[in-house]
Structures are given as C-alpha cells and as structure tokens.
Amino acid sequence: MTKPLEGLLVVALEQAVAAPYCSSRLADAGARVIKIERADGDFARKYDHVVQGESAYFVWLNRGKESLVLDIKQDDDKALLRRILSKADVFIQNLSPGAAERAGFGSDVLRDQFPRLITCDVSGYGEDGEYRDMRAYDLLVQAETGLASITGTPESPGRVGVSVCDIAAGMSAYQAILEALLERGVTGKGKGLAVSLFDGMADWMTVPLLHYDYGGKAPGRVGLRHPSIAPYTGFQTKDGDTIVISIQNEREWRRLTEQVLNQPGWAAEGPYKNAASRVANRDRLEDEIGRVFSALTTTELRKKLTEAKIAFGQVNGVAELSTHPALRRILVETQTGPVEMPAPPVKTKGQEPSLGPVPGIGEHSQAIRREFAGDGA
C-alpha cells in the first residue's frame, strides 16, 4: 500500500536523538531517508547494547533508513553529498553549532543552490544569542528550561525519565517539515527551518511559565500530585499498589463521595465542597481518602472506581508496561534479528503499519555511491 511520503528523498546528517526522531517519522511515512554517518557510526549506536547487542535508542530511531558513511571534510565525499542534495527534498542536520556551515552545507547556501530544498537545522539553543555555541544534551536542557525544577519531589528536583527535550524538538521538526512540504506544493519553493531543544521544551513549559509571569509563582514540585487540582494524586491500596485518581469537575467529585468514599455530604458542604476548598485543604483530604483506599484491595478499588466512572490509573513499572493490554507492538528487523517495539501511535484505519529495517553502519554506502556517481549539480 502506498505511503503518503513515498517518492520524497530526505538526507539526514544526524546523530543522537532529536534529528533521528524526526527523520524516522519521515521514513515511517514512506520517505526515502539517507542517513549520513561517520566511519564509526552515529554515537547513539554505542549508548548501550541491550537489544540483542544493539542500542535501544538507535534501534528505536533509525528504522527504515539507509546508512551512508561519508567524511564531509574530504572533497570527494563533499561532492557526493552535494550531488545527493541536488535531488533531495529535505535536508536535516543536527551537528554541533556551525559545523554544517564550515563544511559548506549551511542551510542558506544550500537553498540558494537548490531552491526547492527544505532545510531543517536542529540545535540545542538556537542559531543566535549567547547560548548558540553551548553543547546541549537532553538532561542539560531539562535543567535550563526549568523542567527539572517542577519535576520530582518537594525535597529535590528530578529528571523526566525519557528524553523529552530531544523528542519535543524532533516532533516539532517533523511537523514543520510536513507543513513546508505542503507549502512547497503551492509555491514550488523550499524554505529554511530551525528547531532547538530549548524552544521545544519552552513551548511545553508554557503553563508553568504563565503561572510565574502572571500569577507571581511557579508550580512547585509535588511528586504525583497535581499542583492546582485535588484530589489528583496517588493512594496506596491494601495490596501496596498505588492508584492515581483524577477529579476534574464537581460531577466526578460527587460520584466519588457517594459511591467510593461513602461521604455524600462532602460534595454539598464542609471543607471539600468545591475545587478551591479541596486544594486549600489538600493534606487533610488526602489523608481521609487514603484511609478508605488502603482498606480495599487493588481489585476492589479498581472495581469501585470503574463503576463510579472515576478516572484512575495504576502506577506501573516498565515490567507492567511490557505486558499491558493496551500496548501495541510491531516487529522491526535489525542486523541481529527482529525486535518487538511499540507500534507508531497513530493508527490508520484499514492499514497495518509497516516499518523498514534498522541499517548497519554504511550498509548502503556502495549502492548509494554507484547511484549518485557522476551526477552533475
């Protein structure tokens, strides 16, 4: 079955997470993605060896790509890359600041030479300003954007357990490239895009920032609590499991008080009668709910919450995710055999996802060199 981006050629001079996330989604959608690697490969290949000897990050983010080993400091390889770019639709790069420009592959120069080309530069802190040359990795940007200050327990800040700054930048780049492709279909012209890890996470930090700028105070670190809604936190069951409940409106609160807590009067009067009073009396309220929940087994509590139509979730570990009934998986071929990983999050009705294999270092070098040998541009 035809995929929406079939026929498009994407060149990705990339490493690590943010840019590979973007290009992997383009590959999933049918684009041909040529990944440019050094002789020793994208350093994400060596992050770990947990997936049958391969890196979990690399297997996740490089399916469906072709690997071409180039040294862009060498004239012959630079000429080959330029020939490929003359046929390309999209060029993505996330080298260290200024490296692409010094090698002769700056986005402005490329678009002058190839007006239909869409370029996307992925950086840590943007293309100008005093932070331009700062090295940027995910945890560092979590710290710089204030994300770590609102994550964790009241006692200490914490890191979000996945690379959210990289992923936010990669998602934003993917969205922007799709928009640029649509625009090029009208104007016939490419455009230059720039995405930074900092900007991607700053966008996700909008609500805490608005609380600070306009309310005078940023949300504090509250663990599993919600900073402005109560009850919205985790409670232990008799079995020792943790169940998080979320009460978003007064209808839900009334059902919880009547059908689970056996305190119907709390929804009409007293210190918990409305959202503001529940937040103001949060500690006392959570103690009262905790006593009820801790007397019930996990099975009993889940049944009661389900019947009362209360939003809840169990605090699972990765082991529970691995066997979760909602987890959809897909097989992806790698150099060391097939790997099961989560399926793409968007489902297309009547169509099963089909993802390409994860390439070895330089697996496609000879074929690509033959394909683009002698093309003038």
How high is the pLDDT of residue 359?
Answer: 95
For the stretch 44-79, pLDDT in tens is 899 999 999 999 999 999 999 999 999 988 999 999
Choose, from 49, 226, 324, 364, the residue flagged as catalytic.
Answer: 226
Are 257 and 267 in contact by the 8 Å Cβ rule? The answer is yes
Q: Average pLDDT of the chain? A: 92
How high is the pLDDT of residue 377?
Answer: 44
Q: For each of the domains in the chain, give its residue range(s) and CATH number, in order of start.
A: 9-205+326-371 (3.40.50.10540), 232-314 (3.30.1540.10)
The phi and psi torsions of 13 (rounded to 5 degrees) equal: -95, 85
375 pLDDT tier (thresholds 50, 70, 90): low
In this prediction, residues 323-332 reach a mean pLDDT of: 93
Per-residue HEC secondary structure of the chain comes to: CCCCCCCCEEEEECCCCHHHHHHHHHHHCCCEEEEEECCCCCHHHHCCCCECCECHHHHHHCCCEEEEECCCCCHHHHHHHHHHHHHCCEEEECCCCCHHHHCCCCHHHHHHHCCCCEEEEEECCCCCCCCCCCCCCHHHHHHHCCCHHHCEECCEECCCCCCHHHHHHHHHHHHHHHHHHHHHHHHCCCCEEEEEHHHHHHHHCHHHHHHHHHHCCCCCCCCCCCCCCCCEEEEECCCCCEEEEECCCHHHHHHHHHHCCCCHHHHCCCCCCCHHHHHHCHHHHHHHHHHHHHCCCHHHHHHHHHHCCCEEEECCCHHHHHCCCCCCEEEEEECCEEEEEECCCCCECCECCCCCCCCCCCCCHHHHHHHCCCCCC
- What is the Cα–Cα distance from 319 to 338, expressed in whole angstroms? 20
For the stretch 337-363, pLDDT in tens is 999 999 999 888 888 888 999 999 999
Residue 148 has pLDDT above 90, yes or no: yes
Q: Tell me the two tokens of residue 376.
A: 């003038």
Residue 227 has pLDDT above 60, yes or no: yes
- What is the Cα–Cα distance from 23 to 19, expressed in whole angstroms? 6
Percent of the chain whose predicted confidence (pLDDT) is above 70 = 99
Catalytic status, residue 226: yes
221 pLDDT tier (thresholds 50, 70, 90): confident
In this prediction, residues 175-179 reach a mean pLDDT of: 97
236 pLDDT tier (thresholds 50, 70, 90): very high
The phi and psi torsions of 282 (rounded to 5 degrees) equal: -55, -50
Residues contacting 225, CB < 8 A, separation 6+: 232, 233, 282
Per-residue HEC secondary structure of 6-48 comes to: CCCEEEEECCCCHHHHHHHHHHHCCCEEEEEECCCCCHHHHCC
Please name the residue that has the structure tokens 């150099």: 335
Instruction: Report the DSSP pairing between strands 9-13 and 32-37.
Output: parallel
